[in-house]
Structure 1
């Protein structure tokens, strides 16, 4: 009997597209989440930014397809806005969870069940759609500086390397004068994107989020933590309007990241979930209580 082929899961489809995007950008160290700092992928109807693995997956789609717009919505959502997805357009999958309840022996059993949906980019749509909701304009770097200071992280300037020292619980970063600009960002933006990367590492300390990877990532745990910091910095840069510049020092991790993603289709969602938790933790530090 011939073996029937199995339909790939939404996790596998999204991960495959992220891998493809990473491979296309690996030469100059450009990852799918390196952009102009304008926005995370955002739902065009609700105005809510996508998070976790969905954000990374849609960044990858934007990179692979050359879309300039970060706005996405389902076919029905576009139709409800009076817009029409053009014929022949291929959408991108996203994953979400819905409460799941079923009766069993007169008891209610609750939990969550994974569901997937297909979304289309603004550039795949035509017709009389109204202006879509946009994210706030980029904030000034002075406000980014305030964001960092309100976390109360200990930051030591000097030297030639940026890193988080878990033993002494501080972030080391070179002076701003040591940072140079690139074709896509200023020297100041390079400084802040690096600082935000290290700030995500800072959140993983035992007395904060106690981020551990256990046996799932094994010898790749260090590379997995770097991936968490990369994604977390990308989310923060998008939130704060800072250009997230490629980091050449991460060329050493690209092979490890690809190995992780190829061996575990849910790994990117795990890393993105941990990144989202780190970003949420840092945003909560901004609250006055």
Structure 2
């Protein structure tokens, strides 16, 4: 009688998580959400000042780019007419930023096409101005700090064992290769999202950046230039977000694949022009990164 263990291997767990992420992406996960409050920068989801609706599709990327290029700190946009309706005035000489919207109209259905319902859509351009370009409009006041997060001891021990240098401050999360350090937003800015708590948001962000940290030349020397070319940055982001999913599962930060992982993955896959296979390449690299980080932990424990 076989005594082989029925406990699934880590490779099987990672494969299962990858499959769940792909399924979540295919189920249209929606727009990405930041788990911390951001007072500046282009990665807040762009929102219309009058309707309060967020922009979607290619308009998100377009407005992110415009904000980054022009140094806008506000995610709030509107047309000239909409700003006027709000009692605000676009300053003389300010340049607009383009977005695309689709207008639907009725036409005669094609008699040779049984599925033609006569609905037609035509693309129209619209021109937007950022809140930083107008007078007479006040953004919502900055929220009060939330205080330190609740610590998760196992996650803290895991991160400490890597030896990574981590600094806190500001409202951005990133790994800086030149200085070889991870920068995290201040703890009191973490507010969580619909799918994770403040603490989970903090640690999920931190292990995302730790996955980037593993790619340094003197660690795993991860590069994507040959296959992905100009999309190498997006490929690395895929690795980091899948790595975060793996590590959250390892650290028992969550019980299941969270929608926020799928939201970010879907965004980066879109930027990579729909390369569906990229997620599996990224998953393999993410698995390597997660194993590397766990090995650092094992070595730290052995040396203790």
Output the TM-score relative to the length of structure 2. 0.50
| Kept after mapping to 1: 8 A contact 2:162/2:296 | yes
The answer on 1:182 being equivalent to 2:193 is: yes
The answer on 1:48 being equivalent to 2:9 is: yes
Q: 1:229 aligns to what?
A: 240
Distance 1:250 1:51 in 2: 19
**Shift >6 Å, 4+ stretches:** 62-65, 247-251
Deviates more, 1:164-173 or 1:244-253: 244-253
Instruction: Identify if the C-alpha distance between structure 1 residues 147 and 245 changes in structure 2 by more than 3 Å, giving closer, same or farther.
Output: farther
After TM superposition, give the deviation of residue 256 of structure 1 in Å: 1.9
The answer on 1:256 being equivalent to 2:218 is: no
Q: 1:131 aligns to what?
A: none
| Kept after mapping to 2: 8 A contact 1:209/1:278 | yes
Give the alignment of 1:12-31 within 5 angstroms.
Answer: none
Look up the SS of the partner of 2:274 in the other structure. Answer: helix
Q: 1:72 aligns to what?
A: none
| Kept after mapping to 2: 8 A contact 1:220/1:260 | no
Look up the SS of the partner of 2:183 in the other structure. Answer: strand
Count of paired positions: 168
After TM superposition, give the deviation of residue 246 of structure 1 in Å: 1.6
Q: 2:260 aligns to what?
A: 246
Distance 1:226 1:164 in 2: 11
The answer on 1:215 being equivalent to 2:226 is: yes
The answer on 1:144 being equivalent to 2:150 is: no
After TM superposition, give the deviation of residue 249 of structure 1 in Å: 7.0
Distance 2:152 2:17 in 1: 24
| Kept after mapping to 1: 8 A contact 2:239/2:285 | yes
Look up the SS of the partner of 1:164 in the other structure. Answer: strand
Output the TM-score relative to the length of structure 1. 0.52
Distance 1:227 1:160 in 2: 22
| Kept after mapping to 2: 8 A contact 1:204/1:210 | yes
The answer on 1:282 being equivalent to 2:293 is: yes
Look up the SS of the partner of 1:185 in the other structure. Answer: coil
Look up the SS of the partner of 1:233 in the other structure. Answer: helix
The answer on 1:158 being equivalent to 2:169 is: yes
Higher relative contact order (CA 8 A, sep 6+): 1
Distance 1:257 1:214 in 2: 13
After TM superposition, give the deviation of residue 245 of structure 1 in Å: 6.3
For residue 217 of structure 2, the aligned residue among 200, 206, 211 is 206
CA RMSD of superposed structures (Å): 2.7
Distance 2:175 2:24 in 1: 32
**1:229-264 C-alpha deviation (Å, 9 max, x unpaired):** 010000000111113562777775241245222xxx
Distance 2:21 2:259 in 1: 15
**1:64-93 C-alpha deviation (Å, 9 max, x unpaired):** 79xxxxxxxxxxxxxxxxxxxxxxxxxxxx
After TM superposition, give the deviation of residue 215 of structure 1 in Å: 1.7
Q: 1:30 aligns to what?
A: none
After TM superposition, give the deviation of residue 204 of structure 1 in Å: 0.2
- Segments of structure 2 that go 5 or more residues without pairing to the other structure are 28-150
Look up the SS of the partner of 1:212 in the other structure. Answer: coil
Instruction: Identify if the C-alpha distance between structure 1 residues 64 and 163 changes in structure 2 by more than 3 Å, giving closer, same or farther.
Output: closer
Q: 1:197 aligns to what?
A: 208
